[in-house]
Amino acid sequence: MPRTFGNLIAGKEVDSATTFESRNSSDHADVVGVFPEATREQVREACIVAREAFPAWSKTPAPIRGELIGRFGEALAREKEPLSRLVTREMGKTLKEARGSVQEAIDTCRFFQSEGRRLYGQTVPSEMPNKELFTYRRPLGVVGIVTAGNFPVAVPSWKIVPALVTGNTIVWKPSEDAPTVAYAFVRLLAEAGLPDGVLNVVFGGGKGAAGEFLVDMMDEGRLDKFAFTGSTAVGRQVGEAAGRNLLHPTLELGGKNPLVVMRDADLDNAVQGALFSAFATGGQRCTSAGNVIVDAPIYDAFVERFLAQVAQLRIGDPNQVPDVMYGPFINQRFFESWLAHYDVGAADGATKLYGEGRITADNRPAGWAGTDPEAAYYGWPTVWADVRPGMKIFQHETFGPTINLVKVDGIDEAIEVANAVDYGLSSAIYTMNRDWAFQFKDRIESGMTSINNTTNGAEAHLPFGGVKGSGNGTRESGIWVLEAYTYWHAVNDDVSGKLQLAQMDTAYAEPKGAVDVASLV
């Protein structure tokens, strides 16, 4: 029998009348766990508990909070292999990628452990005598967090770890696609010594469920910050609710990321980079490449090599076959949305070079390496050509194993086409020409850029986030994320014993008259 879990509120498991099953994305017959659908009242209670826990946690010295995060990182490192295998089982990521996702959370803990000793303010000179000015970072309060299922360890760590180090308390609604991973994540934090009520977890879906209820808590005045990873459409709704309440949300949203291959590129390297950018996690990454933009002189050679590699991609259950490029769709909703893009591409007039929809027993690519393709939702790697700006398939995020090939002529057209989408998350260029590389990184409308590397991938000490439809300018990771979970408190301390009014009583130096330098010569 699969284990039944509860919401985690004030350190206790809280059941709900309605439950849902988390199933193995690669084998839908395998139930990983049974979880509660949190009610609106339970979400509200979690916010109340987090508010009650805030005074004590926010007054815990920041270096002590950092040490706790360090112990959490040690626990993650100890449990890296079983946690990685749980990620693979529950949401279908390959084991290599799952290990990388857990390692990123470990790296995040190691980085922010020391930030607990570096939450610096400033000492600022005053224009008045016997007066000192200071600035301090202060925690915001209660943070509502909603995360997606494609990176169920790394992405939550980007939000939860800095929020905790800076003294905030949290209500987290993890993805319903990876709730068991979330439960393990929180239990390891509790092992590290996190006090009850500082991090509360409510399980369930999004619309009409726990996710929507948590967003609604902003209108009830129960949250001081909201952090969201997901689609741009839902991110706009979160942003609207935050705006009504004068909150500054963290919005990490979708992407239609360009990968440019210039005429002087190392083609073998570019092909491998395009393959991983397009098909890692089955294209279910916000940083997946959407459009590969290829310079005309090498277009045919690139396409030939790329298609040859696509036809050899190994696909299957990553629990059974460790060396597949990608496994199943995370859920049926993502699969059905991806399947609909075939009609979009045909209506746009694009040319399908490779791909035949759902992989079944009677419809399998040469690289199929699994046993029963119909035990889950698997998709053919799909390649479109003759794609141009303005087409829906060029513009819209597909979120599946699909890539578009776009022919351009020269660096100027390449950059123009790369910018011709409503998103601006990630980007990449393959070139040996340093001027072209400089032009690309200088003119691209994107929060992140790689030169001779993939569109995906992140490091724990570098800012992650986008512009345009990919986000609202906030950043995850590194020192930059501290701005998202703190506010600046300015303090002036006057020990003069009398009223001193800046600008009005300031003893500015008076000029003594102009000096005619020419008369001195």
Residue pLDDT, tens place only, 213-243 = 999 999 999 999 999 999 999 999 999 999 9
Catalytic residue among 115, 286, 397, 476: 286
Asked whether residue 469 is assigned to any structural domain, the reply reads no
The band of 510, judged by pLDDT with boundaries at 50, 70 and 90, is confident
Residue type at 194 in one-letter notation:
L
Q: State whether 343 and 427 are in the same domain.
A: yes
Q: State whether 223 and 275 are in the same domain.
A: no
Residue pLDDT, tens place only, 117-145 = 999 999 999 999 999 999 999 999 999 99
pLDDT over threshold 90, residue 209? yes
- Report, as an integer, the average pLDDT of 378-383: 98
d(Cα 286, Cα 387) in Å, to the nearest integer?
Answer: 21
Q: State whether 243 and 335 are in the same domain.
A: no
pLDDT over threshold 90, residue 509? no
d(Cα 149, Cα 286) in Å, to the nearest integer?
Answer: 12
Q: What is the CATH number of the domain that holds 228?
A: 3.40.605.10
d(Cα 257, Cα 409) in Å, to the nearest integer?
Answer: 19
Residue 104 annotated to the active site: no
Asked whether residue 329 is assigned to any structural domain, the reply reads yes
Q: State whether 171 and 313 are in the same domain.
A: no
Asked whether residue 192 is assigned to any structural domain, the reply reads yes
Percent of the chain surpassing pLDDT 70: 100
Residue that has been written with the tokens 């040690």 in this structure: 74
pLDDT given at position 513: 85
**CA-based nearest residue to 45, from 19, 10, 16, 78:** 10
Q: What is the CATH number of the domain that holds 446?
A: 3.40.309.10
Residue 97 annotated to the active site: no
Instruction: Look up residue 511 and give its DSSP letter.
Output: P
What is the radius of gyration, based on Cα positions, of the chain? 26
Asked whether residue 366 is assigned to any structural domain, the reply reads yes
CA triple 489-495-498, angle to 5 deg: 110
- Report, as an integer, the average pLDDT of 467-485: 96
- Report, as an integer, the average pLDDT of 237-252: 98
- Report, as an integer, the average pLDDT of 112-117: 96
Asked whether residue 42 is assigned to any structural domain, the reply reads yes
Residue pLDDT, tens place only, 302-322 = 999 999 999 999 999 999 998
pLDDT given at position 64: 98
- Report, as an integer, the average pLDDT of 57-85: 98
pLDDT given at position 458: 83
pLDDT given at position 512: 86
Asked whether residue 361 is assigned to any structural domain, the reply reads yes
Q: State whether 240 and 282 are in the same domain.
A: no
pLDDT given at position 144: 98
Residue pLDDT, tens place only, 164-208 = 999 999 999 999 999 999 999 999 999 999 999 999 999 999 999
Q: Which domain covers residue 107, as residue numbers?
A: 7-253+474-487
d(Cα 219, Cα 334) in Å, to the nearest integer?
Answer: 30
In a 3-state reduction of DSSP, which class is residue 67? helix
pLDDT given at position 309: 98
The band of 253, judged by pLDDT with boundaries at 50, 70 and 90, is very high
pLDDT over threshold 90, residue 1? no
The band of 330, judged by pLDDT with boundaries at 50, 70 and 90, is very high
Q: State whether 309 and 353 are in the same domain.
A: yes
CA triple 226-229-233, angle to 5 deg: 95
Q: Which segments of 203-288 are extended strands (E)? A: 225-229, 250-252, 257-261
pLDDT given at position 242: 98
- Report, as an integer, the average pLDDT of 337-347: 98
pTM exceeds 0.85: yes
Catalytic residue among 176, 212, 252, 476: 252
The tokens describing 232, both together, are 């741009």
pLDDT over threshold 90, residue 94? yes
CB 145 within 8 A of CB 485: no
Q: State whether 177 and 306 are in the same domain.
A: no
d(Cα 521, Cα 518) in Å, to the nearest integer?
Answer: 6
Work out how many domains the chain is built from and give that number. Answer: 2
Q: State whether 290 and 336 are in the same domain.
A: yes
pLDDT over threshold 90, residue 511? no
Asked whether residue 31 is assigned to any structural domain, the reply reads yes
Q: State whether 110 and 215 are in the same domain.
A: yes
pLDDT mean across residues, the chain:
97
d(Cα 39, Cα 166) in Å, to the nearest integer?
Answer: 29
Q: State whether 249 and 326 are in the same domain.
A: no
Q: State whether 159 and 27 are in the same domain.
A: yes
Q: State whether 482 and 410 are in the same domain.
A: no
CB 112 within 8 A of CB 66: yes
Asked whether residue 425 is assigned to any structural domain, the reply reads yes
d(Cα 130, Cα 127) in Å, to the nearest integer?
Answer: 10
